[in-house]
Structure 1
């Protein structure tokens, strides 16, 4: 299968490239720089140079592919316009298109407290005040399945593995800036999580067996943020401590404090498990293993 991946140079995108190349597919990544193109080619993929801001070029890259995966990052309004244009371009082709969303759309601000609410793929929820508008893009993609397009949404939780987890990076960053590993409030809040390689496997199953118009989760476990922060603190040999939301905004920034570290986002993946046969590897279930990856300590230098 000829697969075009948008965001191929990112954390998830680069793992998708490697996964599909290893599975024997003809993979092309849409990237912005010659350096990113060289990394793709070293991984056994092709590269198309371009920028999503140049929508005509981004759309033209769809034409030679049998399937396209959107794993890029844009502001929400720009993202919706881009995805609408892509699904319009592909309508009637019978090709496959996967839009990568995220469980931030169903997150609840708890300021560090736990929520008992947990959501399967088709459970109703109140969209997040902050990024819930992405659900409009999800709905647009799912509806495009009615136009002879094999359209799907994948909504990952917190992704970890191989030294790339954003939440763990944030905890290391707080240690570099304050000498302690900080979490918001009681730190009982959490994102459900999945290893990036298990998530990549889900994309392959969606292309192979997914039902057009469906949305799929991929969840392998949960750990609250205080537990993760304390694991990072043990690795660094420093203390972990609670901070207020106002302090968190000073340590990180408003977006990270509000959207990343003060909310609870709990999800389940019964549809992916039942319909696609997806399951995480038994060897990749413990996010606390990620806290000891040397990549995070190496990255701390830029925050010092």
Structure 2
């Protein structure tokens, strides 16, 4: 297949590109800069110049491809509403370009959009009243494309997609621990984060692209839920810092923008994903990855 990938030079997208090429697919990546073009060409992919807010380039990429994987998102949490609107517009544009084609369109969503404090499954709809409610509409928008002749499906990723080169939530926790002089967790630290290694996630994207029927939802979850206290303990050990509880009322002061995310309790299953696609995980767990030390170099 000729596959158009947004976010193709990002932490997750670059792993998806390598997974697709390794399986014999051709890849065209969306590229915002000359640096991105060079990176894609070095990886063995083609580049299409454009960006998430350049809807014409997105539609061109989608029309000329046999399938689309959308991993890009503007991770500026100070402008979260604008980032979510950009995402909605991008999905709409690519969906319009693919209408009636029965080609696959695979978008990225988040486990954190599910209801908190219970085990989430692929059958659960996103909580439209969640703290991330501005991003939640991307899911019903995507699922509705099935009625327009698009083989649309969703991969929900956990709060931690980890591995060498990670620049997401876990590196932010490490930076906060260094700054504060303690590795903290909120309350009793018994709230749970699911996790997946980026290479295992990349394999899931490929399998979903190749196999998923329209309207499918998958969970890119290797670990159902890790207590945030355990994450803080490993960070403390690696940095030789004390590990301590931070009261909920002080969480925003201590963790700043990350407080909301580190307080999430969103354990999630991937049983249906594994049985439907034959997905198997083989990479280190989050705590094993942290103990290898590359997060602290």
TM-score, normalised to structure 1, is 0.88
Give the 3 Å change call, closer, same or farther, for CA 125–150 of structure 1 in structure 2.
closer
User: Counterpart of 1:301?
Assistant: none
User: Counterpart of 2:198?
Assistant: 196
Distance 1:294 1:44 in 2: 30
Distance 1:95 1:39 in 2: 27
Q: CA deviation at 1:251?
A: 3.8
Structure 2 unaligned residues grouped into runs of 5+: 75-82
* Coordinate RMSD, CA, aligned: 1.9
User: Counterpart of 2:232?
Assistant: 229
Distance 1:78 1:246 in 2: 33
Whether the aligned pair in 2 keeps the contact of 1:105 and 1:133 (CA below 8 Å) is no
Q: Secondary structure at the match of 1:191?
A: strand
User: Counterpart of 1:41?
Assistant: 41
1:278-293 alignment runs, 5 A limit: 278-281=279-282, 284-293=283-292
Q: CA deviation at 1:68?
A: 0.7
Distance 1:165 1:130 in 2: 22
Q: Secondary structure at the match of 1:134?
A: coil
Q: Secondary structure at the match of 1:73?
A: coil
User: Counterpart of 2:90?
Assistant: 82
1:82-231 alignment runs, 5 A limit: 82-108=90-116, 115=117, 117-124=118-125, 126-157=127-158, 158-164=160-166, 166-221=168-223, 222-231=225-234
Q: CA deviation at 1:223?
A: 1.2
Whether the aligned pair in 2 keeps the contact of 1:163 and 1:290 (CA below 8 Å) is no
Distance 1:218 1:207 in 2: 14
Whether the aligned pair in 2 keeps the contact of 1:29 and 1:46 (CA below 8 Å) is yes
Distance 1:30 1:249 in 2: 36
Distance 1:182 1:107 in 2: 24
Q: 2:31 matched to 1:28?
A: no
Q: CA deviation at 1:245?
A: 4.0
Q: Secondary structure at the match of 1:61?
A: helix
Distance 1:53 1:125 in 2: 25
Q: CA deviation at 1:133?
A: 4.0
Q: CA deviation at 1:21?
A: 1.4
Give the 3 Å change call, closer, same or farther, for CA 126–68 of structure 1 in structure 2.
closer
What is the CA deviation profile of residues 118-160 of structure 1, one whole-angstrom value per residue up to 9, with x for unaligned ones?
0110135644532134332111111211222111111111311
Q: CA deviation at 1:273?
A: 1.5
Q: Secondary structure at the match of 1:226?
A: helix
What is the CA deviation profile of residues 190-209 of structure 1, one whole-angstrom value per residue up to 9, with x for unaligned ones?
22111111111111111222
Whether the aligned pair in 1 keeps the contact of 2:52 and 2:87 (CA below 8 Å) is no
| Count of aligned positions | 287
Q: Secondary structure at the match of 2:24?
A: coil
